[in-house]
Amino acid sequence: MKSQDSLALEDQFGAKNYKPLDVVLTRGEGIWVWDVEGRRYMDCLSAYSAVNQGHCHPKILKTLIEQSQKLTLVSRAFCHDQLGLFYKEICEITRSHTALPMNSGAEAVETAIKAVRKWGYCVKKVPPGQAEIIVCSNNFHGRTLTIISFSSEPQYREGYEPHTPGFKMIPFGDAEALRAAITPNTVAFLVEPIQGEGGVIIPPAGYFKTARELCNKHNVMLVLDEIQTGLGRTGKILAEEHEGIEADLTLVGKALSGGFYPVSAVLSNREVLGVFKPGDHGSTFGGNPLACAVARTALKVLVEEGMIENSAVMGARLLDGLKQIKSPHIKEVRGRGLMIGIELHPEAGGARRFCEALREKDLLCKETHKHVLRIAPPLVIKAHEIDWALERLESALTQN
């Protein structure tokens, strides 16, 4: 089937909740993907960081095949031989005490919200129905009804009322605003280390150290959404390491399976997840044998193949190269590791047209918040491939 035929079918039968670039992909390997006509592109989005290990990593694929031939699902009604090993290995690599596996990132966020609310009532003794969670403007934590209730993006909220109460919004990166927002009923501060969907926004140095101190002082749980930033994307296993802090709850997903299968997890101290008793929370597919086996190998290759360190080195090379580009369209280049945003001036005409120009140069990326190009290739990218990408980015960004 040709690209135009596939696109026509999508248009005829599919819901219109996405606006992808007009490219129809059929194969992927490492940092490269191919369309149905056989044209090769460099993937500089990595499925929003779900494919950190590269497309179709052979070791993860091998695990997927082998486990799918043995046991895929038993629900949590029974134990299986992959879950305990998954718990042990993910807790060791992230220095966590305990873990609760789910499927999607949004499910992990919902799980954390439930956990900190129950902790607030059972342990902190917040009056019934009064628990507050502080969040940041410009956030993106998913698209469920509860999560969009504390979004500051009108498109995500409008038409889905009534919204879920219990959230207080403050500016991102403003420690004094956090200090002022905390009350005796505050149970958690939910925040992204870097706002990815918001435009790759990095908070001021020291922000998270202060946030950690404030949460400690007021007995508030610090919840870091590392679904995009975690598992090597920023050059560390978790982005919290850049400021030398540890969250009370950490949310991971996306790259936890290397792009093969939906897997997420809430990582926590024992105090918070300890409030869940049998029957309080669960998921038929959460923590299934196939998911656990795939996640174990996805974590293993990140470490054993040096992808985290490569992200730091190649990210620095890419960021430095982008900052050398002389373009009237570029307002700012910012990033950490291989999570980079190129913010354009409003008069540049939006980032979408540059994504389309780059597609014609065999490089795929995506716009966010209209004026930001998000550049996030798989963590297996090499130096000569960074230079290849920089040539095309410079060509596209210096055209009229």
DSSP E strand boundaries for 284-357: 330-336, 339-344
Q: Which of 254, 260, 285, 354 is catalytic?
A: 254
From 120, 93, 95, select the one nearest 246 (Cα to Cα). 95
Query: Could you give the C-alpha distances from 155 to 106, 129, 160, 352, in angstroms and in order?
Result: 18, 28, 10, 18
For residue 320, the domain's CATH number is 3.90.1150.10
Query: Which amino acid is present at 51?
Result: V
Residue 58 confidence (pLDDT) above 80: yes
Query: Taking 90 as the threshold, does the pLDDT of residue 130 lie above it?
Result: yes
Q: What CATH number does the domain containing 116 carry?
A: 3.40.640.10
Q: Do 226 and 254 touch, CB atoms closer than 8 A?
A: no
Per the structure, the count of domains in the chain is: 2
The verdict on whether 225 is a catalytic residue reads yes
Say whether pLDDT at 337 is over 80. Answer: yes
Read off the pLDDT of each residue in 365-372 and give the average, rounded to a whole number: 96
Q: In Å, how far are 267, 279, 288, 301 from 100, measured between CA atoms?
A: 7, 14, 12, 22
Q: Which two tokens stand for residue 221?
A: 């749980």
254 catalytically annotated: yes
The neighbour count for residue 156, using CB atoms within 10 Å, is 17
Alpha carbons within 13 angstroms on the beta-carbon side of residue 144 total 13
Q: At 131, is the pLDDT very low, low, confident or very high (cuts 50, 70, 90)?
A: very high
Domain boundary residue, one of 273, 289, 304: 304
What range does the domain containing 291 cover?
A: 58-304
Residues 102 and 184 in one domain: yes
Same domain, 37 and 93: no
Same domain? 337 vs 239 = no
Residue 212 shares a structural domain with residue 317: no
- Give the end of a domain, one of 246, 273, 304: 304
Shortest CA distance to 297 belongs to which of 90, 45, 101?
90
Same domain (yes/no): 169, 248? yes
Residue 171 and residue 190 share a domain: yes
Residue 235 has pLDDT above 90, yes or no: yes
Whole-structure pTM value: 0.97
Q: Report how far residue 263's alpha carbon sits from residue 104's, in angstroms, rounded to the nearest whole number.
A: 6
Give the helix/strand (H/E) hosting 136.
Answer: strand 132-136
Mean pLDDT of all residues in 93-118: 98
Q: What is the pLDDT of residues 291-304, one digit of tens each?
A: 999 999 999 999 99
Helix (H, G, I), strand (E, B) or coil at 102: strand
pLDDT tens across 8-48, in order? 999 999 999 999 999 999 999 999 999 999 999 999 999 99
Tell me the pLDDT tens digit for each residue of 264-293. 999 998 899 999 999 999 999 999 999 999
Residue found by looking up tokens 């969040």 in the block: 135
Q: Quick one: which of 239, 305, 237, 274 has its CA closest to 89?
A: 237
- 147-182 tens-digit pLDDT: 999 999 999 999 999 999 999 999 999 999 999 999
Q: 399: how many CB neighbours lie within 10 A of its CB? A: 11
Buried b / exposed e over 361-380, threshold 16 CB at 10 Å, is eebbbbbbbebbbbbbbbbb
Judgement on whether residues 299 and 258 belong to the same structural domain of the protein: yes
Claim to verify: residue 175 and residue 213 sit in the same structural domain: yes
Query: Do 182 and 290 belong to one domain?
Result: yes
Q: What's the helix, strand, coil split of the chain in %, to 5?
A: 40, 20, 40
Q: Left, alpha or beta for 324 (phi > 0: left; psi -120 to 50: alpha)? A: alpha
Dist. CA 282–CA 280, nearest whole Å: 7
pLDDT, averaged across the chain? 97
Which of 304, 335, 369 marks a domain boundary? 304
pLDDT at 277: 96
Residues of the chain above pLDDT 70, percent: 100
Among residues 288, 394, 387, 224, which one has the least CA distance to residue 75?
A: 288
- HSE toward the beta carbon, residue 368, CA cutoff 13 A: 22
The answer on 93 and 218 residing in a single domain is yes
Per-residue pLDDT, 134: 99
Q: Is 13 a catalytic site residue?
A: no
Q: What does the alpha-carbon distance between residue 45 and residue 47 come to, in Å, rounded to a whole number?
A: 5
CB-based contact 35:1 (threshold 8 Å): no
Q: Classify residue 143 by its DSSP letter.
A: -
Domain shared by 139 and 240, yes or no: yes
Coil/strand/helix, residue 117:
helix
162: preceding bond cis by omega (within 30 degrees): yes
Catalytic hit among 35, 43, 150, 225: 225
Sheet with 98-102, side-by-side order of all strands:
98-102, 264-268, 249-252, 221-225, 186-191, 132-136, 167-170
Q: What is the pLDDT of residue 400?
A: 73
Amino acid code (one letter) for 218: H
Do residue 105 and residue 246 come from a single domain? Answer: yes
Which of 43, 118, 140, 236 does the annotation list as catalytic? 140
Q: How many residues does the chain have?
A: 400
